[in-house]
Structure formats: structure tokens, C-alpha cells
């Protein structure tokens, strides 16, 4: 076989069949996918969560992960924060002609491992090839379906004055690591994306505490972006304590040089949650024994208000923490 | 000293009504980011001066770059924020969206690679910034000359901080009792670089760092000097700033550049306030190669100029937050995160 992917691999002919059966199916094989029909067919029981996301990250391999792993974890995380157990995933590849088979196989292998780790099946998919120059190596779209056990659905719980904001660790690592990589900055081993699947954290947490009232993964727009969405959606104010926010040293120093506040930088293994203050100890105790929650902290508090987020600085002053008003580097997820 | 103790000390000694002006965009940004204006006693007023290099870029200079790109098919290489600064007919970003090549680089040395990789196209590298960035650009030109690169041209928008400070003091529009001395610029020009201004105006001057504690300590020193009534020029950023500055950087800078006229937004033309290329680098000098004149129309509603001089608060500008926002800036003070309008907007300045 050729060592690069060509337009003919997307034309629907023999090369396409070979690409699907001899490459993709080899990695993703399961009982539903291997039927290779126009739709995946399966039964679902219970309240269903359904989500989709497209991944255009550049470069496709970055410290701490790659576009394939990101496309699985990203969709798994969108389900997990809703309390849904992720079950099935679809994968659409848009490949730029010229991508090497070697790189494509590394991505497939990485997606295979990621989906196995999360206990999801890749059940349907699509592959298109575009002319050289019309894409950037590889774009991936994934959609996912999960089932929410009735008492894990947090949507009806009322957010009120005094509720607490918790994040499960250091912020800004994915965004800042990607920027350093894109700028060609040689950096140490500690510099990497926080990319991780959250299902093993969020679902057991929702089972153990009914005080969790909101969860979302702070990807683009960062923690500050999510908090502004929450405050506007629920017509509350949120006060964030600058001193309580966990930021790794390398993120701190790189963000100073780049002139980017880590509060606005993307995360791929973090969850922002709002919990009832009575459940604080229980939730923190639970999170801190989990590998993805060791550095969990209460970073803020819900106040009565009208949709504003404030930062209480380490000097004790209070200022607006607005949404991002300018472009960070694009295409980080 | 701890920040809280510093605030206490300032409160204890401060009695006089004083205006302190900062001349560095990073100070502006950090002062707003930490809400430092709120915690100072009411008799201490902080004013922001023309300390952000992007903000002081004139309409004429942006219009000139756009005209060059349109008439001579030059690729433009520049730093991030400059692309959003409006001239009278649009910004460099607008030029890019219209299909012209505008590249953003993080290090000026990248320009050399771009020029080498595209031998058949001419590129214009725009040098912008104060004394802190000029040595890097100078080094880039020295390298370009050594490597005999023929398709890279250069436009210097570099400006010097002391002449702008002097211009503001001479205008006398606002009473300035003390100066928050720019830490970064001082690493290059040293404490020495401010002596002339200090000797002439005898206004208390403290060079300070950028951490909240360093800013508060600097303000404490200024207040103490003002209360004692004995003006002084103090270096409170000794870890980074030497008396004589960075001689090596200055040597490189003045090997390539010499002082010349520059147009500042809000201040106009100031002699010897900019850096222009020396004759032995004239093969790069776009102003000599394409000395075209542009007729710039100023946006009368944008009051950036007054904001830069500390005369007007951003909130007093009719465009502020209504039509002028960081997403859609009408003036440069809203473009850069170091601009006073952007700092007000982002951090909720009163």
C-alpha cells in the first residue's frame, strides 16, 4: 500500500473500501461497527444524552496527546459532565491528501486505546479526503450517546446564594501547552496538556453526592468563560478567589510571557462544578482520592446577583472577570 | 513586605492630594488587574500615560503601511496587536481579510526565515515598541545585512519613552506629582536614562517592577518622597535595572538606529522621540525606498489622544463601551490589553 493517503481513498471505490476495512476497522472493530451498514443499530434504555464536537487542533500531535485521543475524550467528557455514562461514538474523518499512513495509524491506535479506556464503542463513521491545501492534515468530528441514570441528572437542582465553585485541579494546561508547542518553544517534560477522560470522576461523584448542581468542562474560553456562562444562565453572581486557583508553575510563567491569563486558557481534563456548601467536605474528600482530582479546590462562591463574575484578587480587591474579548491562538481543540 | 502591610503603610503616611502617572502599559494592565486603584486612599490618584506602544501608533503610520501593501504588493510582517489598530481606512487585519499577506510573528528573527523561503516576494517588517523591543529588531537587521537578504524591508515605528514623558510634562494639561517609572524600559536605559528629565522637572520618580507588591512598594516610596517634600529619582527595581542600563542592548540599538522624528497618537510629531534607520542600513529603509505621502483623516469621535495624555477617562469618551469594545475597537487604546480603555473595559474600571 502507498505510504500517504490520496484523494482516491475518499472516492468511494476500491481504495476507500481498503482504507476502511484494512485500516480503520482493524483498530475500531466491534460487533456493531463490523456490520458496516449505513447506520449503526442498537437498543437504548433510559434517559439519553447526545452530543457532538469537531476537532481541528494543530499540530495533530502535541505534548500530552493527539487529535484522535482528544476527539474521543472530548466527546466522552461532554457526556460525562451531564452525568451520562458514555456508550457509543461516531467518528467522521476529514483527511487532507498527503497525510502519511504512519501518522494516521498512530491516530487510529490512540483512538482505539482511548475508547477502550472509556468503555465506549465506535459504532459508525465516515471518511472524506480533501485536496492538498484544503485542510490541515486531519480534522475529526465525533458524536456520542450516553445514558443518564435518573438520580444522576443534576439539571433540576437549584443553584443558590452560598453554593461553591470547585475545579478538580490546575487550570490552563491544555491551552498554554498548545501555544508553547505552536510557537516552537522547547520546554520540559512537565509541559503538557491535561487531556483526560472525566467519566471515571464525574459519574461516581454524582452517585456519591446529590449536592452537585452543575458540571461543565472548561475547554475553549477557559474557566472564566464557563463561569460567565453559568452566571448569565442562572442570573447569579460568582466570586472567584484568585489565591485559591491552582495553577502549575510552568503555566504561570509561560502565561506571563505569552500575556495570557490562564483563566481564559483551555482545559481538556477539568470540570467546573457548582455544589451545595453542605456537601463541600464530602465532595472534596471524594475528588482528592481520585487521580484526576488530587488538586481539587473550592475556587469561588455563588452570590445573589444578575449575571456577573468577579475576581477577588490576592490583594483583596474585587474586579470584573469578564469573558474573553480577543482571540487567543486559534485551533487548540 | 506583604501587600497588605504596604497598603497599611501607604494609608498611614499619605496626606497630600497627589496624581501619579504610569508610563508603561504593563503597569496599567497590572494596576487594573489587581484592582490597585481601589485600595489606595482617595487622595492618591493614578493616571495612565502613553505607555502602550500599539496605542501611540498614529493613523498616518497605519495608512502608510496599507498604502504600501496595496500599491507595491508587499507582504507585511508584524506583531500581534498592531494588526487591529485602526488607521483612517481600516486596519492591517482588514488588509489581510481582503487577501493581502499579513503575517504575525512572535520573534522578529522569523522575518528572516520568511524572506528566505519566499525569495521572489518582498516583505516589510514593521518594528514597533519602545526601548525594550528596539534592540531585538536592530539585531534582526544586523543579521539580515550579514546574510545579504535583499527582499526584506523595514519600517521603524519605534519610539523612545523619555521624550514622550517630557512632552506630556511640557503640555501641562494634567498636574503630575509623581512618576511610576517604567520597569522594562529602565532595564535598557537604566536609572541614568531618566536623569535629564528628573533634573529638569524635579518630579519624584520611582522605577518599579510589575508584581503587585512591587507596584505597591513603589507607590509607597513615591508617597513618602512627596510627603517629605524632597524629590528623588529612585530605582526600586534593582534586581532588573542597573544604573547604566543594558549597555550591550543600547550599543546594538544605536548601531542600527539613530534618534529621529516620530508621530505619536495623541501627542503629534515629536522631534527625536523615535528611532530611524542609520544611513548604513538604508537599503532596508522603506521610507527612503517608497516615500509616499498619505492623507489621513482622523476619527474625531475617538478620544484616544486625550486618554493617552491622562486628560480624559475612558468612560468619558462617547464611544467607550457603546461602539468601541475590545472585539471591535475604534481606537488603539481599546486594541491592546495594555491600553487604558481596554483595561477599563476588561477589569471594570470606574
Q: Is B35–A314 a contact, with Cβ atoms under 8 angstroms apart?
A: no
In a domain, A1, yes or no: no
Cell 512572535 -> residue: B106
- Which residue from B38, B326, B348 is facing A320, i.e. has the nearest CB? B348
Q: Is A155 on the interface with B (CB under 8 A)?
A: no
- Does residue A183 sit in the same domain as residue A145? no
Q: Which residues of B touch A320 (CB under 8 A)?
A: 346-348
Is residue B350 scored above 60 in pLDDT? no
What gap in Å lies between CA A201 and CA A166, rounded to an integer?
13
**Cell numbers representing residue A316 in the block:** 483583596
- Does residue A194 sit in the same domain as residue A143? no
In a domain, B320, yes or no: no
pTM of this structure: 0.85
Provide the domain limits for residue A139.
7-150
Best A228, A326, A327 member to test B by mutation, with max B CBs in 10 Å, is A326
What gap in Å lies between CA B188 and CA B162, rounded to an integer?
12
What gap in Å lies between CA B347 and CA B35, rounded to an integer?
8
Query: At which of A89, A116, A150 does a domain end?
Result: A150
**Cell numbers representing residue B318 in the block:** 462617547
Q: What is the pLDDT of residues A24-34, one digit of tens each?
A: 999 999 999 99
From the list B19, B49, B22, the residue with the least C-alpha distance to B308 is: B49
Please count the structural domains in chain B.
1
Q: Is B298 on the interface with A (CB under 8 A)?
A: no
Asked whether the beta carbons of A264 and A227 are under 8 A apart, the reply is no
- Does residue A146 sit in the same domain as residue A195? no
Once rounded to an integer, what is the mean pLDDT over residues A260-275?
96
Once rounded to an integer, what is the mean pLDDT over residues B128-141?
95
- Does residue A170 sit in the same domain as residue A310? yes
In a domain, B264, yes or no: yes
- Which residue from B35, B216, B348 is facing A313, i.e. has the nearest CB? B35
CA–CA–CA angle A312, A314, A320 (5° rounding): 30
Report the CATH number that the domain containing residue A41 is assigned in CATH: 3.30.1330.10
- Does residue A200 sit in the same domain as residue A173? yes
Q: How far is CA A98 from CA A85, A132, B62, in A?
A: 37, 7, 40
Is residue A172 scored above 80 in pLDDT? yes
- Which residue from B35, B326, B337 is facing A318, i.e. has the nearest CB? B35
- Does residue A178 sit in the same domain as residue A314? yes
First to last CA, chain A: 31
How does DSSP assign A36-105, residue by residue? --SS------SEEEEEEEEE--SSSEETTEEHHHHHHHHHHHHHHTTTEEEEEEEEEEEEETT-BHHHHH
- Which residue from A183, A316, A320 is facing B347, i.e. has the nearest CB? A320
Share of chain A above pLDDT 90, in %: 89
**Cell numbers representing residue A299 in the block:** 475556587
In a domain, A328, yes or no: no
List of residues 6+ apart from A307 with CB closer than 8 A: A231, A232, A235, A236, A237
What gap in Å lies between CA B41 and CA B28, rounded to an integer?
18
In a domain, A312, yes or no: yes
Report the CATH number that the domain containing residue B121 is assigned in CATH: 3.40.50.11740
Confidence of residue A332 (pLDDT cuts 50, 70, 90): low
What local confidence, expressed as pLDDT, does residue A329 receive? Answer: 56
- Does residue A314 sit in the same domain as residue A169? yes
Residues pairing with B153 in the sheet: B124
What local confidence, expressed as pLDDT, does residue B299 receive? Answer: 66
Q: Average pLDDT of chain A? A: 94
How does DSSP assign B51-95, residue by residue? --TTTTB-HHHHHHHHHHHHHH-PEEEE-GGGGG---SS--HHHH
Cβ count near A1 (within 10 Å): 10
In a domain, A330, yes or no: no
Provide the domain limits for residue B277.
59-160+247-289
What local confidence, expressed as pLDDT, does residue B107 receive? Answer: 86
In a domain, B78, yes or no: yes
Q: What is the pLDDT of residues B53-102, one digit of tens each?
A: 888 999 899 999 999 998 998 999 998 788 988 888 889 988 998 899 99
List of residues 6+ apart from B337 with CB closer than 8 A: A259, A326, B29, B81, B343, B346
Is residue B183 scored above 80 in pLDDT? yes
In a domain, B96, yes or no: yes
Give per-residue burial for A171-198: e unless 16+ CB within 10 Å, then b: bbbbbbbbbbbbbeeeeeeebbbbbbbb
Please count the structural domains in chain A.
2
In a domain, B75, yes or no: yes
Dmax (CA) for chain B in angstroms is 66
In a domain, B15, yes or no: no
In a domain, B142, yes or no: yes
Query: At which of A121, A150, A179 does a domain end?
Result: A150
Q: Is A252 on the interface with B (CB under 8 A)?
A: no
Query: How far is A320 from chain B, CA to nearest CA, in Å?
Result: 5
Report the CATH number that the domain containing residue A238 is assigned in CATH: 3.90.650.10
Q: What is the pLDDT of residues A197-240, one digit of tens each?
A: 999 999 999 999 999 999 999 999 999 999 999 999 999 999 99
Q: Which residues of B touch A185 (CB under 8 A)?
A: none
In a domain, B100, yes or no: yes
Return the residue of B nearest to A183 by Cα. B106
Once rounded to an integer, what is the mean pLDDT over residues B171-179?
92
Asked whether the beta carbons of B67 and B292 are under 8 A apart, the reply is yes
Q: What is the pLDDT of residues A307-324, one digit of tens each?
A: 999 999 988 899 999 887
Cβ count near B323 (within 10 Å): 12
In a domain, A159, yes or no: no
In a domain, A196, yes or no: yes
- Does residue A91 sit in the same domain as residue A169? no
Is residue A330 scored above 80 in pLDDT? no
Q: Is B345 on the interface with A (CB under 8 A)?
A: yes
3-state secondary structure of B175: coil
Q: Is A319 on the interface with B (CB under 8 A)?
A: yes
Q: Is A325–B33 a contact, with Cβ atoms under 8 angstroms apart?
A: no
Query: At which of A150, A183, A212 does a domain end?
Result: A150
Q: Is A319–B33 a contact, with Cβ atoms under 8 angstroms apart?
A: yes
- Does residue A196 sit in the same domain as residue A76? no
Once rounded to an integer, what is the mean pLDDT over residues A295-305?
97
In a domain, A157, yes or no: no
In a domain, A198, yes or no: yes
Amino acid at each position: 500500500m502507498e505510504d500517504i493517503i490520496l484523494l482516491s481513498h475518499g472516492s468511494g471505490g476500491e481504495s476507500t473500501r481498503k482504507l476502511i476495512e484494512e485500516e480503520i476497522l482493524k483498530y475500531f472493530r466491534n460487533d456493531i461497527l463490523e456490520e458496516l451498514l449505513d447506520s449503526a443499530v442498537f437498543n437504548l434504555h433510559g434517559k439519553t444524552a447526545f452530543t457532538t464536537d469537531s476537532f481541528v487542533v494543530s499540530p495533530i500531535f502535541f505534548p500530552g496527546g493527539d487529535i484522535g485521543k482528544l476527539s474521543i475524550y472530548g466527546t466522552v467528557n461532554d457526556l460525562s459532565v451531564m452525568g451520562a455514562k458514555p456508550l457509543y461514538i461516531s467518528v467522521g474523518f476529514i483527511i487532507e491528501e498527503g497525510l502519511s499512513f504512519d501518522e494516521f495509524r498512530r491516530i487510529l491506535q490512540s483512538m482505539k486505546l482511548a475508547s477502550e479506556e472509556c468503555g465506549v464503542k465506535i459504532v459508525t463513521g465516515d471518511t472524506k479526503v480533501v485536496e492538498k491545501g484544503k485542510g490541515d492534515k486531519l480534522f475529526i468530528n465525533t458524536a456520542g450517546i450516553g445514558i443518564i441514570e435518573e438520580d444522576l441528572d443534576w439539571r433540576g437542582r437549584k443553584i443558590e446564594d452560598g453554593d461553591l465553585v470547585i475545579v478538580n485541579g490546575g487550570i490552563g494546561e491544555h491551552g498554554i501547552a498548545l501555544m508553547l508547542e505552536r510557537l516552537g518553544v522547547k520546554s520540559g517534560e512537565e509541559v503538557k496538556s491535561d487531556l483526560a477522560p472525566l467519566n471515571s470522576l464525574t459519574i461516581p461523584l454524582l452517585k456519591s453526592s446529590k449536592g452537585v448542581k452543575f458540571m461543565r468542562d472548561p475547554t475553549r474560553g477557559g474557566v472564566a468563560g464557563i463561569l460567565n456562562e453559568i452566571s448569565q444562565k442562572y442570573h447569579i453572581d460568582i466570586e472567584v478567589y484568585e489565591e485559591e486557583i491552582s495553577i502549575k508553575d510552568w503555566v504561570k510563567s509561560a502565561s506571563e510571557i505569552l500575556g495570557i491569563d490562564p483563566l481564559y486558557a483551555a482545559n481538556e481534563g477539568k470540570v467546573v462544578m457548582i455544589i451545595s456548601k453542605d456537601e463541600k467536605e464530602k465532595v472534596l474528600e471524594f475528588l482528592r482520592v481520585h487521580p484526576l482530582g488530587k488538586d481539587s479546590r473550592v475556587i469561588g462562591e455563588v452570590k445573589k446577583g444578575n449575571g456577573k463574575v468577579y475576581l477577588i484578587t490576592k490583594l483583596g480587591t474585587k474586579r470584573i472577570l469578564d469573558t474573553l474579548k480577543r482571540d487567543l491562538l486559534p485551533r487548540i481543540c | 513586605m506583604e501587600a497588605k502591610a504596604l497598603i497599611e503603610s501607604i494609608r498611614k503616611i499619605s496626606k497630600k492630594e497627589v496624581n501619579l502617572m504610569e508610563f508603561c502599559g504593563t503597569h496599567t494592565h497590572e494596576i487594573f488587574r489587581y484592582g490597585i486603584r481601589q485600595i489606595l486612599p482617595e487622595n492618591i490618584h493614578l493616571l495612565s500615560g502613553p505607555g502602550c506602544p500599539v496605542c501611540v501608533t498614529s493613523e498616518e503610520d497605519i495608512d502608510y503601511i496599507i498604502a504600501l501593501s496595496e500599491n507595491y504588493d508587499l507582504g507585511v510582517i508584524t506583531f500581534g496587536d498592531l494588526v487591529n489598530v485602526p488607521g483612517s481606512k481600516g486596519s492591517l487585519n482588514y488588509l489581510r481579510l481582503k487577501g493581502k499577506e499579513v503575517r504575525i510573528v512572535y520573534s522578529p528573527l522569523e522575518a528572516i526565515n520568511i524572506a528566505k523561503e519566499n525569495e521572489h516576494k518582498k516583505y516589510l517588517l514593521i518594528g514597533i515598541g519602545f526601548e525594550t523591543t528596539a534592540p531585538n529588531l536592530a539585531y534582526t537587521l544586523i543579521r539580515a545585512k550579514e546574510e545579504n537578504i535583499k527582499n526584506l524591508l523595514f519600517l521603524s515605528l519605534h519610539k523612545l519613552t523619555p521624550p514622550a514623558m517630557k512632552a506630556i510634562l511640557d503640555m501641562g494639561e494634567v498636574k503630575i506629582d509623581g512618576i511610576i517609572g517604567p520597569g522594562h524600559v529602565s532595564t535598557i536605559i537604566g536609572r541614568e536614562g531618566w536623569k535629564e528629565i528628573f533634573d529638569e522637572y524635579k518630579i519624584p520618580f520611582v522605577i518599579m517592577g510589575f508584581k503587585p507588591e512591587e507596584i505597591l512598594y513603589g507607590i509607597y516610596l513615591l508617597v513618602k518622597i512627596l510627603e517629605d517634600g524632597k524629590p528623588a529619582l529612585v530605582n526600586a527595581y534593582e534586581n532588573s535595572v542597573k544604573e547604566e542600563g543594558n549597555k550591550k542592548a543600547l550599543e546594538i540599538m544605536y548601531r542600527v538606529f539613530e534618534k529621529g522624528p516620530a508621530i505619536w497618537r495623541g501627542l503629534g510629531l515629536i522631534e527625536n522621540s523615535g528611532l530611524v534607520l542609520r544611513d548604513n542600513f538604508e537599503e532596508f529603509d522603506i521610507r527612503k525606498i517608497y516615500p509616499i505621502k498619505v492623507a489621513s483623516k482622523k476619527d474625531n469621535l475617538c478620544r484616544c489622544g486625550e486618554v493617552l495624555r491622562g486628560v480624559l477617562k475612558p468612560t468619558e469618551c462617547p464611544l467607550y463601551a457603546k461602539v468601541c469594545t475590545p472585539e471591535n475597537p475604534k481606537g488603539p487604546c481599546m486594541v491592546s490589553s495594555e491600553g487604558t480603555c481596554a483595561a477599563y473595559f476588561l477589569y471594570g474600571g470606574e
